[in-house]
Amino acid sequence: EVQLVESGGGLVQPGGSLRLSCAASGFTFSSYGMNWVRQAPGKGLEWVSYIGTTTSTIYYADSVKGRFTISRDNAKNSLYLQMNSLRADDTAVYYCARDWIGHCSGGSCYSGFDFWGQGTPVTVSS
Amino acid sequence: DIQMTQSPSSLSVSVGDRVTITCRASQSISRYLSWYQQKPGKAPKLLIYAASSLQSGVPSRFSGSGSGTDFTLTISSLQPEDFATYYCQQSYSALLYTFGQGTKLEIK
């Protein structure tokens, strides 16, 4: 059974740092790209960051670029998000999600986020 | 950046209704479009990928269509467990995946 379990969330002051973790099990972690997605209270989903199967491919949303760093340890089946210079508008539930390629045809591969963790809440407040 | 706009933002519907939700991309995204369902306090669930491919285990009353800039999610006969918020998401640009703002289905 595929499982993604986030941890590391909590209350932090503005300007502070936090490191989120996502422990993966039930699949070959090293074979999948992974994402972080967040959801502010009462708001919609916001994609945060993507990391490929190796660390050579990494993308960030503009809202977190330069402040957040995504990483992974395939030996530990773990995904991380280092969050620095946190602001009040970073307050959200943070989810890790597996990037799954559904099928490829004609040179195009179509994907979706097929498994998600339960989320870990992050509150940035003084 | 590719912007995704869903309509409507909310919809009052009844069990058994046929429901259609629209998602429009600010530029062509071919068929790089997924749909998710989210219930309160829960993680999102993948329903549709590649605009019209049904994810394994998802009931056949859910269907997706469209390509380019205009997409729809249709629920053929709404069931009680379908009351939730639905999001579209583009994966055309891996540099910046984006979600629509969501459509909340409410009980009429």
Q: Give the model's pLDDT for residue A104.
A: 87
Contact in structure between B34 and B98 (CB atoms under 8 Å): no
Q: Provide φ and ψ at B91, rounded to 5°.
A: -125, 20
Query: Looking at the predicted structure, is the pLDDT value of residue B95 above 80?
Result: no
Overall average pLDDT of the B63-89 stretch: 97
Interchain CB contact of A103 with B (< 8 Å): yes
- Report CA B53 to chain centroid distance, whole Å: 12
Say if the Cβ atoms of A44 and B96 lie within 8 Å.
no
Overall average pLDDT of the B76-97 stretch: 92
Residues from chain A contacting residue B87 (CB–CB below 8 Å): 44-45
Q: Give the model's pLDDT for residue B103.
A: 98
Interchain CB contact of A46 with B (< 8 Å): yes
Q: Identify the closest residue of chain A to B34 by CA–CA distance.
A: A112
Closest approach of B65 to chain A, Cα-based (Å) = 14
Say if the Cβ atoms of B89 and A117 lie within 8 Å.
no
Say if the Cβ atoms of A47 and B44 lie within 8 Å.
no
Q: Identify the closest residue of chain B to A6 by CA–CA distance.
A: B43
Q: Give the model's pLDDT for residue B50.
A: 95
Say if the Cβ atoms of B43 and A119 lie within 8 Å.
yes
- List chain A pLDDT tens, one digit each, 126 residues: 999 999 999 999 999 999 999 999 999 999 999 999 999 999 999 999 999 998 889 999 999 999 999 999 999 999 999 999 999 999 999 999 999 998 888 888 899 999 999 999 999 999
Say if the Cβ atoms of A35 and B1 lie within 8 Å.
no
Query: Looking at the predicted structure, is the pLDDT value of residue B94 above 80?
Result: no
Optimal mutation site among B35, B46, B98, interface A, most CBs of chain A within 10 A: B46
Percent of chain B with pLDDT over 70: 99
Q: Give the model's pLDDT for residue A120.
A: 98
Q: Give the model's pLDDT for residue A105.
A: 83
Q: Give the model's pLDDT for residue A99.
A: 95
Q: How many CB atoms lie within 10 A of CB A2?
A: 13
Q: Which residues make beta-bridge pairs with A99?
A: A33, A113
Residue in B43, B45, B87 nearest the CB of A118: B43
Interchain CB contact of A40 with B (< 8 Å): no
Using CA atoms, how far residue B60 sits from A95, A110, B107, in Å, is: 27, 20, 21
Band of pLDDT at residue B3, cut at 50, 70 and 90? very high
* pLDDT tens, residue by residue, A82-94: 999 999 999 999 9
Interchain CB contact of A27 with B (< 8 Å): no
* pLDDT tens, residue by residue, B21-72: 999 999 999 999 999 999 999 999 999 999 999 999 999 999 999 999 999 9
Structure tokens at A41: 């209270």
